[in-house]
Amino acid sequence: MKLLFIGATHEVTGSCTYLEVCGKRILIDYGMEQGRDTYENIRVPCAPAEIDYVFLTHAHIDHSGLLPLLYAGGFRGEIHATQATVSLCQIMLRDSAHIQEFEAEWRNRKAKRSGGDVYTPLYTMQEALGSLEHFIPHPYEEKIAVAEGIAIRFLDAGHLLGSSSIEIWLTENGETRKLLVSGDIGNFHQPLIRDPQYAESADYVIMESTYGNRLHEKPKDYIQDFVKILLETFQRGGSVIIPSFAVGRTQELLYFLKQIKDQNLLGAYQEIPIYVDSPLAIEATEVFQRNKESCFDEEALAYVRRGENPIGVSGLRTAVTSEASMAINTDTRPKIIISASGMCEAGRIKHHLKHNLWKPENTILFVGYQAAGSLGRRLLDGANYVTLFGESVKVAAQIRQLPGMSGHADQKGLQLWIQHVQGVKKVFVIHGETLAADTFTALLKEQQIPAYAPYSGTEFDLISGQFLYEAEPVYLEKPKSAKASATYDRLQIALDRVTAYIQNARGYSNKELAKMADQLTQLCNKWEQ
């Protein structure tokens, strides 16, 4: 009964933990890294084809984004998640694959002109669709027997539609342990979705620490703060461009904007157009509507009971096609543009930044967390110039952040969540940058809660309660982009797949073995040339 920490250790993206129990190999999340890597992560210790199960906390790409890559490597097991998470992954993983293929096409056109190297997408649409066939949906609060000795239950984490903390009961050789995985713990009193549920007990807890060293600012009124920024910008003749996560944050913004317009708070700018430029966000909004009864909070459900759509704001315009997206920036009127991605790392938001960053009358409004190394973080940190599509763009627009609009619990919220869990022998603090993770670990220790912030490669025996190996941080000599890191991961997974074929080939005939050897030799000879 062994835990192995792989991703999001002293970093805030790329969540992945490996669990080995009852002869089964399990991944808890398998997320894509975003921004820049600081530390070297170990690899999953077996071939993808040898993974039996994935337990997925929620649909955000930093938790789910490498599942198509897992499938590409030969994984054919089961992916367990909540019903809403399955629905969101149906669109988010397809969208991620589309971005991968689109970027590869764009890079290769550029490489062809310059004589550069061919760029291969991390994974394809076909591989994303293949991974989606292995999802198994579950309701909240129902205990599910996954295999002999393994049972799970999903609790609402209050972070995103369908997000969950996962209770995991493990029994092996007559010994039982309960593992609790927090997932991303939501902020309290968020619009639309319910507050986080508390687990009653656990032996061991794997817990996020995104805001483990910070308290959220407490604005008196979200809507008034939002209105102030909008009016200041419109009065300058500018537009407000909002990089927003397509799933969750965009729907929250529409919820606020509906209230703003219903209350006529924009005065002369009441008819200002609102563009949602994200096919993913448009599809996600439909998923929100389908899951309202199981996931919406009471305030949002009150709209539904009155026959109103709580995210149905007047003046809303959607852009699905590329042509419609490009046409937005030909509209010279003040407007609101909501576009993905939330950290400005990919998608259509980069085009809107290219067209609007250099105009001093505009405002770029951030409404969510920006990981270290991301374009969003660089803008918030005061960059004067940024590079977009190979061009240097001056940052002249106002850069603002709406305080408190976070999908993550702050330090106080994290404390409250763990204090409800009884019988804890140890808390493993992950999914936070080093300062956040270490600060929160120290805080828990002060409160007599055993806590430890592992680095990638740390192994722990759940039966003995002892570390098998305590990894030291391995710094990257030159921090590499998440895309570069993930592309190398694809190569490693391909190697794992070949290795698995070779290991399973012992019973083949000499003729079959010779054929495989010859083909591999030919491939190596080709590479050496």
88 neighbors 59 (Cβ within 8 angstroms): yes
pLDDT at 48: 95
Distance CA 135, CA 403 (A): 36
- Report residue 486's pLDDT band, with 50, 70 and 90 as the boundaries: low
pLDDT at 148: 97
**Is 479 a residue whose pLDDT tops 70?**
no
- pLDDT > 90 fraction of the chain, expressed in percent and rounded: 64
The mean pLDDT of the chain is: 90
pLDDT at 487: 63
pLDDT at 396: 96
What architecture is the 2-214+407-494 domain classified under in CATH? 4-Layer Sandwich (3.60)
Token reading at 57: 């906390």
Sheet holding 2-7, edge to edge: 135-138, 78-82, 53-55, 24-28, 16-21, 2-7, 459-461, 466-469
Per-residue pLDDT reduced to its tens digit, 363-414: 999 987 787 788 999 999 999 999 998 899 999 999 999 876 678 999 999 9
What architecture is the 222-401 domain classified under in CATH? 3-Layer(aba) Sandwich (3.40)
Per-residue pLDDT reduced to its tens digit, 189-233: 888 899 999 999 999 999 999 999 999 877 667 899 999 999 999
- Whether the bond between 509 and the residue before it is cis, its omega within 30 degrees of 0, is no
pLDDT at 279: 83
Distance CA 412, CA 419 (A): 11
pLDDT at 29: 98
Least confident span in 12-16, 98-102, 158-162: 98-102
**Is 483 a residue whose pLDDT tops 60?**
no
Distance CA 299, CA 274 (A): 23
pLDDT at 445: 97
pLDDT at 118: 77
Amino acid letter at 97?
A
- pLDDT > 70 fraction of the chain, expressed in percent and rounded: 96
Sheet holding 240-243, edge to edge: 316-318, 274-277, 336-339, 240-243, 363-366, 398-401
Question: What's the whole-number mean pLDDT along residues 462-466?
Answer: 97
pLDDT at 404: 60
Nearest residue to 3 via CA among 55, 39, 79, 49: 55
Nearest residue to 55 via CA among 32, 86, 100: 86
Per-residue pLDDT reduced to its tens digit, 408-463: 999 999 999 999 999 999 999 999 999 999 999 999 999 999 999 999 999 999 99
Positive/negative CA dihedral, 342, 348, 354, 359: negative
Query: Which of helix, strand or coil describes residue 341?
Result: coil
Can you give the length of the chain in residues?
Answer: 529
Helices (H), 395-509: 411-419, 434-446, 482-503
pLDDT at 478: 62
- Report residue 503's pLDDT band, with 50, 70 and 90 as the boundaries: confident
Question: What's the whole-number mean pLDDT along residues 270-276?
Answer: 93
Q: What is the DSSP string of 149-213?
A: TEEEEEEE-SSSTT-EEEEEEEEETTEEEEEEE--SPPPTT-SSBPPPPPP-B-SEEEEE-TTTT
Token reading at 150: 């393994």
pLDDT at 164: 98
* Residue indicated by tokens 């959220």: 216
* 204-208/451-452 β-pairing: unpaired
Least confident span in 67-76, 328-337, 518-527: 518-527
